[in-house]
Amino acid sequence: MIVDLPDTTVSKISRALVSVREEGGAVALGRVLTLIILTREGAVEEVIEAANDASREHPMRVIVVMVEDDHEGDSRLDAQIRVGGDAGASEVVTLRALGDAGRSNLESLVTGLLLPDAPVVVWWPNTTPETPARTSIGRIAQRRITDAATKSDPSAWVGSLGENYAPGDTDLAWTRLTHWREQLAAVLDQPPYEEITRVEVRGAASSPSTALLAAWLRLQLDVPVDWAYLPEDTWRHGIKSVRLSRASGEILLERSTSSVACLTQPGQPQHDLTMTRRTLRECLAEELRRLDPDVLYGRVITEGWELLGAPSET
């Protein structure tokens, strides 16, 4: 069910939500959090689809906010409510603030729509403030999600993550590393238990996850990490390879395509592994599983990044 509310107010939207639930038989019971998405015109359906998919694992209320503060006409707030089959296991409220309605404190647009006594998560899928935790919306949230991969200069954005970090911040470039970190940790948990002496990481220039993986390895292994971005004509599909050197030989985890990686270890047969790029829905669902600060992420973008050093020239 979709209900349009042109030129409305927050109190009218709140009353309409109650009415829609009563008429349609939908209930708010079981909603575990409120997800606020601050996005732009043209990207709304993609982020709503990702949130709806993630809501099947995390039933929630989704509030999508679009601000057009350069609107020259009358100031107003347009809204749309989606429940039932149009909202997955969530209920979606879309707010489009025009003119002065978008220049005011954004917190005032959403506070009346938050689920009572439920955690708040904010997601900036494209345009992101320099310091999310200091924004009016960021201050009311337990978790704040950004995405370095959407920036015009992903490597520069990754470099600034530690400078602007506050507990509760995270970035989807980090979430996309989960399978790589799991696989590398599993390899190092097997004998022989030898000290790693050198690490090499390679990835595409457009991949901020490459830098975060290098920083994680530098922090966890406490050894030098040689990392570099590869030219686009060589590789353009995220992380390319990780090479770990130790006394018995080298461990190499290397992608041959964007979805398959080969694991090579001394004295063992090669293994082909599925290493596909994670979808937006998968990354969002993972981040919503934890509502406490990701301490390891915070250490990687601060301590690990400081230890890492600049990328090598390729």
Alpha-carbon distance 89 to 152, whole Å?
33
Alpha-carbon distance 95 to 83, whole Å?
15
Average pLDDT over residues 93-104: 80
Amino acid code (one letter) for 24: G
Average pLDDT over residues 22-48: 81
Contacts of 247 (CB under 8 A, 6+ apart): 194, 195, 197
> pLDDT tens across 157-195, in order?
999 999 999 999 999 999 999 999 999 999 999 888 999
pLDDT at 19: 87
Better-predicted residue by pLDDT, 236 or 93 = 93
Report the candidate in 39, 100, 35 with the shortest Cα–Cα distance to residue 66. Answer: 39
Classify burial at 261, counting beta carbons within 10 Å of its beta carbon; exposed 0-12, middle 13-18, buried 19 or more: buried
Report the candidate in 288, 298, 305 with the shortest Cα–Cα distance to residue 52. Answer: 288
Alpha-carbon distance 75 to 249, whole Å?
67
> pLDDT tens across 56-77, in order?
888 899 999 998 866 666 788 9
Q: What are the structure tokens assigned to 58, written together?
A: 């995390």
Q: How far is CA 37 from the centre of its chain?
A: 12
Amino acid code (one letter) for 266: P
The residue extents of the domains of the chain are 2-172, 178-274
Alpha-carbon distance 27 to 179, whole Å?
36
Strand order in the sheet with 260-264: 225-230, 198-204, 239-246, 249-255, 260-264, 271-274
- Residue 71: strand pairing partners: none
Let me know: does 288 contact 58? Beta carbons within 8 Å: yes
Q: How many Cα neighbours within 13 Å face the side chain of 166? A: 14
Q: Where are the alpha helices (DSSP H) in the chain?
A: 10-24, 44-55, 100-103, 107-110, 154-161, 172-175, 178-188, 208-221, 280-288, 295-299, 305-308
- Does the structural domain 2-172 have CATH classification 3.40.50? yes
pLDDT at 297: 98
| pTM, to two decimals | 0.92
